[in-house]
Amino acid sequence: MIGTLRRRARLGQAMPFVLTWDDEMVGMLTVNGITWGSARWASLGYWVAKSHAGRSITPTAVALVADHLLTTVGLHRIEIAIRPENAASLRVVEKLGFVEIGVARRFLHIAGDWRDHRVFQVLAEDVPGGLLKRLEPPS
């Protein structure tokens, strides 16, 4: 897996990130399907260890990476696909204000079967101040 991610990163097709807490790897976030031309979009996938869930690690990582993609990298659209029963991941996109655009039927083959996913997006013009700002408490 690491070799494949490194190769795809060198080709500009992916960006893998490790999520850490107190110098310990506790998760991963991967930018996949980076597409240029008239589309300029990518998808994000992520996981965090159950032992570290609920600490805002994932929403912070998603916000930081999405902000990087929409500003520095110059993408226009970020997409996240989530299984309907994954309440924790659904809370991440809710916190960050991603907009649901539909259901992708039988989207990924997981645990021996094709699974539906809810699909969410954010556009660069939707977050001129960045996604990370949405996590900051009001002053």
Q: Please choose, from the candidates 38, 133, 30, the residue with its C-alpha nearest in 3D space to the C-alpha of residue 80.
A: 30
Q: What are φ and ψ of residue 16, in 5° steps? A: -90, 140
Structural domain includes residue 61: yes
Structural domain includes residue 138: no
Residue tagged 């790897």 (tokens)? 25
Tens digit of pLDDT for each residue in 98-136? Answer: 999 999 999 999 999 999 999 999 999 999 989 999 887
Tens digit of pLDDT for each residue in 37-75? Answer: 999 999 999 999 999 999 999 999 999 999 999 999 999
- Stated pTM of the model: 0.92
Q: Specify the number of domains making up the chain.
A: 1
Q: What one-character-per-residue DSSP string does 55-96 give?
A: SSHHHHHHHHHHHHIIIII--SEEEEEE-TT-HHHHHHHHHH
Assign residue 23 the CATH number of its domain: 3.40.630.30
Predicted confidence band at 5 (pLDDT cuts at 50, 70, 90)? confident
- Residue 23: give the domain boundaries: 2-131
Q: Please choose, from the candidates 26, 39, 88, 98, the residue with its C-alpha nearest in 3D space to the C-alpha of residue 63.
A: 98
Predicted confidence band at 139 (pLDDT cuts at 50, 70, 90)? low
